[in-house]
Amino acid sequence: MDQRTNPERVVHRRAQDGYQWEAVARLPYKEDDRALFRSITRQVLFSDPQMASELRYFEIEPGGFSTLERHVHMHAVLILRGRGHCLVGTEVRVVGTRDLITVPPSTWHQFRATAGEPLGFLCMVDAARDKPQLPTGQDLAALAAHPAVAAFLENRPNQPLP
Ligand code: MN
């Protein structure tokens, strides 16, 4: 499936719920046996050979989460809807609509939606980027040495949502 927005089309109108766009494929992430991520879809909003970056929209269903990973390329994230928690490095933060999150190079990160609502966010990345790396058992142990991170990974973040 072509994930690229059609350069011939100037406007891709939003769908009725406002978080899907005409002629933009909504790609379900296959549920993963290893439970690396859960209930997340991806839409590539802008991608063009003339541009060095891409803009995607991810949506995580209530209680779902993105893959815990790291890579050399950065993420610039703008939360568009909902609330949740993010792990960036060894920091666990509450995030909500219109918050901006920078994921620096080679930094562990994961996003989780609250139980009650989907978490939707724009994510800007390099068009040419390295493959994400998954944590080894040793990496997970090092992360879990931080109490807030351990709590987050067990999905009981110790920071209440506002
Ligand atoms: Mn990532």
Residue at 93: amino acid letter: R
- Say how many Å lie between the CA of residue 88 and the centre of ligand 1: 10
What is the reported pTM?
Answer: 0.89
CA distances from 81 to 52, 55, 89, 99 (A): 26, 16, 23, 10
**The predicted structure's pLDDT at residue 7:** 65
Could you tell me which residues come within 8 angstroms of residue 32 by beta carbon, excluding any fewer than 6 positions away? 38
Beta-strand ranges (E) seen in the chain are 27-28, 38-46, 53-65, 75-81, 83-88, 91-96, 100-103, 109-113, 119-126
CB 57 within 8 A of CB 80: yes
The burial class, CB within 10 Å (0-12 / 13-18 / 19+), for 108 is: buried
**The predicted structure's pLDDT at residue 33:** 59
Q: Which of 123, 125, 143, 153 is catalytic?
A: 123
d(CA 148, CA 159): 8
Q: Catalytic site residue 86?
A: no
**The predicted structure's pLDDT at residue 131:** 93
pLDDT along the chain (162 residues), means of 10: 64 90 83 68 93 96 92 98 96 96 98 92 97 94 95 79 60
**The predicted structure's pLDDT at residue 34:** 63
Residue 39: phi and psi, rounded to 5, are 55, 60
- Say how many Å lie between the CA of residue 67 and the centre of ligand 1: 7
- Say how many Å lie between the CA of residue 61 and the centre of ligand 1: 18
**The predicted structure's pLDDT at residue 18:** 86
**The predicted structure's pLDDT at residue 77:** 98
Half-sphere exposure for 108 (CA within 13 Å, toward CB): 18
- Say how many Å lie between the CA of residue 69 and the centre of ligand 1: 6
